[in-house]
Amino acid sequence: MQNMKRTAQQGFTLIELMIVVAIIGILAAIALPAYQNYTARAQASEALSSTAGLRADIAVYVSENNGALNVETDPAIVAVAGGLNGKYISNGNVDVLAGGVISVPFDAGVLDTQTMTLTPTIEAGTSQISTWTCAGLANQAHIPSGCQ
């Protein structure tokens, strides 16, 4: 029998470790901006979900008043808007502006100091709100998909 020498591998070489670190760095560089956009969009969706009842109240007001969008004069709607709050929205900061526009200022999270506005669109020939359009965020990619 021949006596063969076996050499056991002692570990990874420096170049192999550097390649792994480079691959992890590239993946992190791709994933981090995507995660930040996802986080901002999730925080912006709070404005959409927390105003659902208020938007329904505005839709009823518009329907009952033949398409009139002067909801900022209705004390009940103003009170509902003032009582809205959430994790990224403080109590009393949501306002109903002229034309039924809802102003939602963020005071925490990624969207801190930004204000999202929800604007109703009345369907032609009716007194019904057909869509709500969101705007006002610095990055339009942060606007929730339910509002685009």
pLDDT tens-digit profile, the chain (148 residues): 566 666 666 788 899 999 999 999 999 999 998 888 888 888 899 888 899 999 999 989 888 888 778 888 888 888 888 888 888 988 888 989 888 899 999 988 888 889 999 999 888 778 888 888 999 888 888 888 877 6
The answer as to whether 5 is a domain residue is no
Output the pLDDT for position 129.
86
Give the total number of structural domains in the chain: 1
C-alpha distances in Å from residue 113, one per residue of 22, 44, 90: 36, 12, 12
The answer as to whether 45 is a domain residue is yes
**Which structural domain range is residue 33 located in?**
14-147
The answer as to whether 75 is a domain residue is yes
The answer as to whether 23 is a domain residue is yes
Output the pLDDT for position 1.
53
C-alpha distances in Å from residue 2, one per residue of 5, 6, 7, 113: 9, 12, 16, 78
For residues 129 and 120, the answer to whether their CB atoms sit within 8 Å is yes
Q: What is the pTM of this model?
A: 0.76
